[in-house]
Amino acid sequence: MPLTDRPELGVWLVGAAGEIAATAMVGASALTRGLVSTTGLTTAEAAFAPLRLRPIHALRFGGVDIGATSLRDVAMSLSRGSRTVHRDVLDAVLPDIAGYESDVLRDAALTWDTAAPAADLPHLQTVVSRIREAIAAFQARHGLERVVVVNLMSAAPEPPPSPLRAHAAGVESLIEQDRKDLMPPSACYAWAAVAEGCPYINFTPNAGTDWGGLAELAQRRRVPFYGDDGKTGETLLKTALAHMFALRNLRVLSWEGVNLLGNNDGRALEDPRNREMKLRHKRGVLDNILGYSPHAGVTINYVPSLGDWKTAWDLIHFEGFMDVPMTMQFTWQGCDSILAAPLVLDLARLADFAARQGEHGPMPHLAAFFKHPLHVDEMDLQRQFGMLMQYIETHRRQG
Amino acid sequence: MPLTDRPELGVWLVGAAGEIAATAMVGASALTRGLVSTTGLTTAEAAFAPLRLRPIHALRFGGVDIGATSLRDVAMSLSRGSRTVHRDVLDAVLPDIAGYESDVLRDAALTWDTAAPAADLPHLQTVVSRIREAIAAFQARHGLERVVVVNLMSAAPEPPPSPLRAHAAGVESLIEQDRKDLMPPSACYAWAAVAEGCPYINFTPNAGTDWGGLAELAQRRRVPFYGDDGKTGETLLKTALAHMFALRNLRVLSWEGVNLLGNNDGRALEDPRNREMKLRHKRGVLDNILGYSPHAGVTINYVPSLGDWKTAWDLIHFEGFMDVPMTMQFTWQGCDSILAAPLVLDLARLADFAARQGEHGPMPHLAAFFKHPLHVDEMDLQRQFGMLMQYIETHRRQG
Amino acid sequence: MPLTDRPELGVWLVGAAGEIAATAMVGASALTRGLVSTTGLTTAEAAFAPLRLRPIHALRFGGVDIGATSLRDVAMSLSRGSRTVHRDVLDAVLPDIAGYESDVLRDAALTWDTAAPAADLPHLQTVVSRIREAIAAFQARHGLERVVVVNLMSAAPEPPPSPLRAHAAGVESLIEQDRKDLMPPSACYAWAAVAEGCPYINFTPNAGTDWGGLAELAQRRRVPFYGDDGKTGETLLKTALAHMFALRNLRVLSWEGVNLLGNNDGRALEDPRNREMKLRHKRGVLDNILGYSPHAGVTINYVPSLGDWKTAWDLIHFEGFMDVPMTMQFTWQGCDSILAAPLVLDLARLADFAARQGEHGPMPHLAAFFKHPLHVDEMDLQRQFGMLMQYIETHRRQG
Amino acid sequence: MPLTDRPELGVWLVGAAGEIAATAMVGASALTRGLVSTTGLTTAEAAFAPLRLRPIHALRFGGVDIGATSLRDVAMSLSRGSRTVHRDVLDAVLPDIAGYESDVLRDAALTWDTAAPAADLPHLQTVVSRIREAIAAFQARHGLERVVVVNLMSAAPEPPPSPLRAHAAGVESLIEQDRKDLMPPSACYAWAAVAEGCPYINFTPNAGTDWGGLAELAQRRRVPFYGDDGKTGETLLKTALAHMFALRNLRVLSWEGVNLLGNNDGRALEDPRNREMKLRHKRGVLDNILGYSPHAGVTINYVPSLGDWKTAWDLIHFEGFMDVPMTMQFTWQGCDSILAAPLVLDLARLADFAARQGEHGPMPHLAAFFKHPLHVDEMDLQRQFGMLMQYIETHRRQG
């Protein structure tokens, strides 16, 4: 039995065989089949009703991955490894997931280290073309009205700076000259997606979304995009909690955060070069909310046995009246994929909506979903959410 | 050397020889002498500048207490017992504190248990008169422009219901008939303060502020008042954090809070009758913010060795996407008096301001300071604070 | 396919359809089938090899329960509810579990409240007879060499004191006179088991094992027995950790423990009468190890959503050099049945061994397994374990 | 008024103007004056009575420091900074502390980085001579019966290996050839102390105590010595707690420890080279107690605002029955100097005792005090303490 007669929106995932992607697919299928509640899906809340977003059952998944593990095996590991998805739910949706397999391009050549790109990789023009062709083929194959591209690849090192990125012509010259040292994979995906007319979401800390050249291309192609770095755990809590200290004039002396995780993301972040951008995103939020810079350490340790269960411990050392020091600690034990996957669905739906409205360029109303929201100074979660509510209100009135 | 040439605002504290009161006095004096920063004092933030609130050095303290320990000895215990106030700061301000001693009425007859009031206590009319006289004498003695009364007494049992409280005449009849079983001490203080024309703040969970009769009297006497129950620790955190779960559609299954404390407040709360109202205030906030009722246990245990260092541990058990259960815990280790005392100063200044503007009746713009804000449904800290900012903005425009 | 050709030891469980019992059965079967490791099973450690204990595959389960839920359904809930047992492991062992169903007596009449026993219950003599008959039938049906009875029933109120319990004749007179107010169900099980010549383990806080009358009967019938109250979580940690404070002369001021749990045990303990004995067992350990009595609060709260995942938070407030107060906190998040079930197997094997050696009466070498070890003053976990190692050594030399 | 008529034991501290040293001096003086209890002093426990250790009032302090801050100012900071020592206690003992000032050699030349020793430092022979002279002068000046040298200097990088250290002649040749790259300051202090006939305690992770050459010299000079690295916080807890997992056959998957501290020790450990040895000591203990190697990360972060209040958070991820993963967390909030200082007094007394008995070479009975106990494999705290009790018992019988 097919899930829907006519899928309408394609969700093309970079890192389609990763745990977040698999959880998004399994979850969408389980929701469609009525096996789980809409808990965790922000856009399922009543406040979003006025937008009449694309229903979950109207999403169809495809994408690309550099690994060879089948979607089916990744999905199975969600039950066996992190004990999140119940086996009977999984059994019911596995046929759907297996059905997406043929829409996932497996191409190990689509990644490289900017510090030392391998010599035998295809030219950047080929890379971008391959991505565009895969997206276009996915859309054509299923007659999709639109395809949203969501980047879920692992954290990679930040490439060296280059002024060429500030303009579309500059980025094009980087591609023409095959400058893999300056053009990381994440930027190729962003460029290819926008060039192909697809709304683009960067759920990772990787480079590309904040390049002037991409904004120019998005303007030209009239495509919306946004990022960076999905806000799912410790940073979510920081941006929810820090304002309390500000409102009560309690002075944060130190906010020390420790993140332990054991999934692929954790393995990638074990390399200090890969975690540099993530750490910067995590650190930046406090200064903005508090209006000063407390000591703010962020540690990320790879603890394999935890698997997808990210455990964060934060110590907040602060001063109150008469300069008396006090402390608060919190421990957050959340399953990373379970926290991230619904946001992928939320963002795909909201990007689809924006595109339907003819909106293009950055989507600052989505700031609440990101650690490092592009073109937005506001870091407080609740105020960011207020921006989203304002967006809904505006559209409700227009609608 | 006198602290100020001309003190202008009297702050008359019920429970003037308690730890919160002593910390407020010590802190105000230390601030005036430049020995500590304004940290912890909300009204010291730049946002409050437009109100031009009474400066801290223009406050003069008096009050009433049922105990006999001198202010000096209570202040000394802040250094020795809870290790909060540095000894050299204390040495510098002790003369100021000792100077307030003669303005503190010591009267053990001004408290009783509504369940079994002692036979030899004075008539309620005498009680109310004594309070009014003490306040008036304090004002006259120092030529104070205004006196704000702040209730800081220990938690007491909730008296049985009575329809007579709904109107001023009814309350007056309770007083005339000496119904100590229906008229608890806290209500007498509220009644006496308002009758005397003094703005009144109920920083405790005790009864009186939500009686229709008091509102009627305040209307008649054109006096502002507010309460109940200062929001200083675990509940502050709840009202700052709960909205995050709502915004992300994470379903709170259980929010279990445990409070350990060892001060006089803790001793009073060891009696289950005394903690009933406090528990109700603490429990109520979640339902309002979340829009549903999770399992929400609140435990208060008396642990003498902790003294004034209240330690709260909360476990939040919640469900995310695909109904996967996850957990968050936090531990809050704060010094109760240090957290509460600056709010007393904030509220005295803001009540003074309201009275100066001719405002009367409940002050809902002060909701952010209370566990159980009278006549306000909004429980979210940040939105409550928004109401206060709105109030400032309104006055700034008028100003 | 039968699990074993010839089961030799019967394990007759009081509360056979509870979660601990089901986990013990599922675990024993999974071990036999090689689906899980021996982790958690103390007696699987190399130190126990000299005893040549009965192998796990030689255990056969039966018992009694007052509820009607099938073993199969309880086992299923271990996967679905607490997400502990993997579904494929469960699928493999369900036929074994279902095979035990016919050996579980379902009899709601075998429990009562000593404070108000129902009038229509059978006479105590009938109760004891029924239990003995069920055990004997179980043994005969499967040709078991021996049956060990393990009590896993829920916590019940402590009955009022009675001098009749000090001697076997007294207990017999309580039975004859049908004194259900003085003879709780747990004592009937103990009495029936020992009378039937079966080694008896009381894994619960319930009364009966410390009666002089039972010891006399055990002496007469030459049967070993022991209890009370399996040590699985917070108390286990206390008895492992408290000695550190003693060794370093750090003075524990307060040790405040909070236990949150949501399983049937938690539901029973919600009633203050039921938790009285458990609290006493939990409190007693510290005084013994430290040599003085710190403030030691123990809170047990029922939090349904946690299910079998017991979460304990302890705050230890202690003084060090120069009387400086410091703190330690710990959070223990363990699955109750998973922690308790292997101890049931351990204790059954060790009781079987003792019986084989002709030992009878209390088994103090098993103190390390209990919150309230009978006839043992030593509460420190490591020293208790040393007693067990000594026992093994003695038998190794004799062996 | 002098503290004692005739001080008998000199305690010569390397890092005499550090916080641990100052706390040891202040504490000894406060104990002598009866201002504080003996809490935290292991040797004050009744078990040590048979040894008739030198009383605390018979200790006299001296030492060396590379900094210039006076003992008085360091002592004052204990009250002001970490809020540990009460001001009135401090006022009472400050004259004693000031009296030790003239016995503290201030010599910035007595430290260097082995990776790049400065050119203008004195020859190693001069360094060793200066140390020996200072110790001898201290002893002569006060007519001390014996001087125990305790190393409390900051953590330094581990020097490169050298076979010359295995024999006394080799070490002497390193000194003669002025090989500051191979002979770190800590080794010079050890060498000078032992050469001078003084018992030596290395309370730091720094090199020198495990050199064969030092053991040979100690043998020749008949001097006892021991180390390394005082066990005061997180490692103390690990060695107290780990055995519980072993006893119950619970499999530790990961034991992740995070240490936050803000004192001078923390500043030194911010340099990864300095923390290498400390991390090795912290990691080693688990493998020994558990018998296998779990993932065991140790993070040390410098958080200045915490000052001397070291906060450690550990996550223990373990498997129980049926391979079900569970977790334990603990948070340790201890004042580093307060935890370490009494051990300095304990070790000085016990080293003095050993010397009085004519014992020489390593003192393995002191293993319980160290993270990395020399020549001892046993890492379990309780068993290590058993070794010390055995030592006392032996001397009691001989005594």
Query: Which residues of chain A have a CB within 8 Å of the CB of B329?
Result: 330-331
CA A32/CA A26 separation, integer angstroms? 10
Same domain, C348 and C321: no
Query: Which residues of chain D have a CB within 8 Å of the CB of B87?
Result: 79, 86-88
pLDDT higher than threshold 70 for residue B227: yes
CA C142/CA C62 separation, integer angstroms? 11
Asked, for residue D4, whether it belongs to a domain, the answer is: no
Same domain, A158 and A47: yes
Within 10 Å of residue C114's Cβ, how many Cβ atoms?
20
Share of chain C above pLDDT 90, in %: 82
Asked if C145 and C4 count as a contact pair (C-beta separation under 8 A), the reply is: no
Largest CA distance in chain A: 68
D382/C40 touch (CB, cutoff 8 Å), yes or no: no
- For D79, name the nearest residue in chain B, comparing CA atoms only: B86
Query: Which residues of chain A have a CB within 8 Å of the CB of C86?
Result: 79-80, 83, 87
Asked if B128 and B188 count as a contact pair (C-beta separation under 8 A), the reply is: yes
Asked if A319 and A278 count as a contact pair (C-beta separation under 8 A), the reply is: no
Asked, for residue D171, whether it belongs to a domain, the answer is: yes
Asked, for residue D1, whether it belongs to a domain, the answer is: no
What does the block give as tokens for D284?
A: 């080693």
Query: Which of B285, B311, B335 corresponds to the end of one domain?
Result: B335
Asked if B216 and B168 count as a contact pair (C-beta separation under 8 A), the reply is: yes
Query: Which residues of chain D have a CB within 8 Å of the CB of C323?
Result: 36-37, 39
Most C-contacting residue of B234, B292, B303 (CB-CB within 10 A), to test interface: B303
- Tell me what the mean pLDDT of segment A115-127 comes to: 90
CA A250/CA C72 separation, integer angstroms? 55
Same domain, B295 and B224: no
Asked, for residue C139, whether it belongs to a domain, the answer is: yes
Same domain, B271 and B389: no
pLDDT higher than threshold 60 for residue C213: yes
B215: DSSP letter? H
Chain C: give the shortest CA distance to residue B253, in Å: 6
The total number of structural domains that make up chain C: 2
For D253-283, letters b (16+ CB in 10 Å) and e give: bbbbbbbbbbbbbbebbeeeebbebbbebbb
DSSP E strands, D99-250: 104-106, 146-151, 200-202, 224-227
Same domain, A278 and A148: no
- Tell me what the mean pLDDT of segment B111-126 comes to: 89
Chain D residues interacting with chain B (CB cutoff of 8 angstroms): 79-80, 83, 86-88, 331
C-alpha of A34 from chain center: 25
Chain A residues interacting with chain D (CB cutoff of 8 angstroms): 253-254, 256, 258, 260, 295, 297, 299, 301, 303-306, 311, 313, 315, 317, 325, 327, 329, 331, 333
Q: What is the pTM of this model?
A: 0.95
Find the range with the poorest average confidence among A68-77, A258-267, D317-326. A258-267
* D neighbour chains, 3+ CB pairs within 8 Å: A, B, C
A87/C87 touch (CB, cutoff 8 Å), yes or no: yes
Same domain, C202 and C58: yes
- Tell me what the mean pLDDT of segment B353-379 comes to: 96
Asked, for residue B80, whether it belongs to a domain, the answer is: yes
pLDDT higher than threshold 90 for residue A103: yes
- Condensed to tens digits (0 to 9), the pLDDT of residues B34-83 reads 999 999 999 999 999 999 999 999 999 999 999 999 999 999 988 777 78
Q: From A185, A187, A226, select the one nearest A208 (Cα to Cα).
A: A187
- Condensed to tens digits (0 to 9), the pLDDT of residues A177-197 reads 999 999 999 999 999 999 999
3-state DSSP assignment of residue C342: helix
CA C319/CA D37 separation, integer angstroms? 10
pLDDT of A198 reads 98
Same domain, B54 and B161: yes
Asked, for residue D109, whether it belongs to a domain, the answer is: yes
Query: Which residues of chain B have a CB within 8 Å of the CB of D331?
Result: 331
Per-residue pLDDT of chain D in tens (399 residues, 90 and over written 9): 344 455 699 999 999 999 999 999 999 999 999 999 999 999 999 999 999 999 999 999 999 999 999 999 999 988 777 788 888 899 999 999 999 999 999 998 888 888 888 888 999 999 999 999 999 999 999 999 999 999 999 988 889 999 999 999 999 999 999 999 999 999 999 999 999 999 999 999 999 999 999 999 999 999 999 999 999 988 999 999 999 999 999 999 999 999 999 988 888 888 888 888 778 777 778 998 999 999 999 999 999 999 999 999 999 999 999 999 999 999 999 999 999 999 999 999 999 999 999 999 999 999 999 999 999 999 999 999 999 999 999 999 986
Query: Which of A317, A335, A353 corresponds to the end of one domain?
Result: A335
Asked if C206 and C281 count as a contact pair (C-beta separation under 8 A), the reply is: no
3-state DSSP assignment of residue B61: strand
Average pLDDT, chain A: 93
CA C62/CA C101 separation, integer angstroms? 8
- For D90, name the nearest residue in chain B, comparing CA atoms only: B87
Residue B292 main-chain phi, psi, to 5 deg? -155, 175
D329 beta partners: C331, D315
* A neighbour chains, 3+ CB pairs within 8 Å: B, C, D
pLDDT higher than threshold 80 for residue A383: yes
pLDDT of C116 reads 86
3-state DSSP assignment of residue C322: helix
B45/A249 touch (CB, cutoff 8 Å), yes or no: yes
Q: From B189, B29, B187, B178, select the one nearest B105 (Cα to Cα).
A: B189
Asked if C220 and C171 count as a contact pair (C-beta separation under 8 A), the reply is: no
pLDDT of C387 reads 96
Same domain, A240 and A324: yes
Q: Is D99 exposed, middle or buried (0-12, 13-18, 19+ CB in 10 A)?
A: middle
Which residue is listed with tokens 């006022």? D91
What does the block give as tokens for C326?
A: 């410091």
Same domain, B41 and B169: yes
Torsion of CA D33, D37, D39, D40, to 10 degrees: -20
Most D-contacting residue of A80, A261, A301, A326 (CB-CB within 10 A), to test interface: A301
3-state DSSP assignment of residue A226: strand
Query: Which residues of chain B have a CB within 8 Å of the CB of D83?
Result: 83, 86
Q: From B236, B230, B243, B227, select the one nearest B257 (Cα to Cα).
A: B236
pLDDT of B6 reads 56
A139: DSSP letter? H
Asked, for residue D385, whether it belongs to a domain, the answer is: yes
- Tell me what the mean pLDDT of segment C111-131 comes to: 91
3-state DSSP assignment of residue D108: helix
Q: Is the ipTM of this complex over 0.90?
A: yes
3-state helix, strand, coil in chain A (%, to 5): 50, 20, 30
Same domain, D160 and D178: yes
CA B319/CA A344 separation, integer angstroms? 18
Question: Which domain covers residue C95, as residue numbers?
Answer: 9-229+338-398
Find the range with the poorest average confidence among A277-286, B349-358, C18-27, D136-145. A277-286
Q: From C330, C339, C348, select the one nearest C146 (Cα to Cα).
A: C348
D312: DSSP letter? E
pLDDT of D130 reads 96
Q: From D148, D133, D146, D143, select the one nearest D4 (Cα to Cα).
A: D143
* CATH number of domain containing C245: 3.30.360.10
pLDDT of A7 reads 65
Query: Which of A285, A305, A335 corresponds to the end of one domain?
Result: A335
Q: From C203, C307, C316, C317, select the one nearest C260 (Cα to Cα).
A: C307
Q: Where does D55-203 have alpha helices with state H?
A: 71-80, 87-100, 124-142, 168-176, 185-195
Chain C: give the shortest CA distance to residue B257, in Å: 10
DSSP per residue over C38-70, as a string? Answer: -TT-GGGSGGGGGG-PPPGGGEEEEEEESS---
CA C136/CA C381 separation, integer angstroms? 36
Same domain, D95 and D223: yes
Q: Is B208 exposed, middle or buried (0-12, 13-18, 19+ CB in 10 A)?
A: buried
DSSP E strands, chain D: 9-14, 59-65, 104-106, 146-151, 200-202, 224-227, 251-261, 298-302, 309-319, 325-335, 361-362
3-state DSSP assignment of residue B315: strand
Same domain, C343 and C313: no
Find the range with the poorest average confidence among A225-239, A289-303, C4-18, D318-332. C4-18
C338/D326 touch (CB, cutoff 8 Å), yes or no: yes
Q: How confident is the model at residue B282 (pLDDT cuts 50, 70, 90)?
A: confident
* CATH number of domain containing D134: 3.40.50.720
What does the block give as tokens for C258?
A: 């909070």
Residue A35 main-chain phi, psi, to 5 deg? -90, -20
* C neighbour chains, 3+ CB pairs within 8 Å: A, B, D
B87/D88 touch (CB, cutoff 8 Å), yes or no: yes
Asked, for residue D3, whether it belongs to a domain, the answer is: no
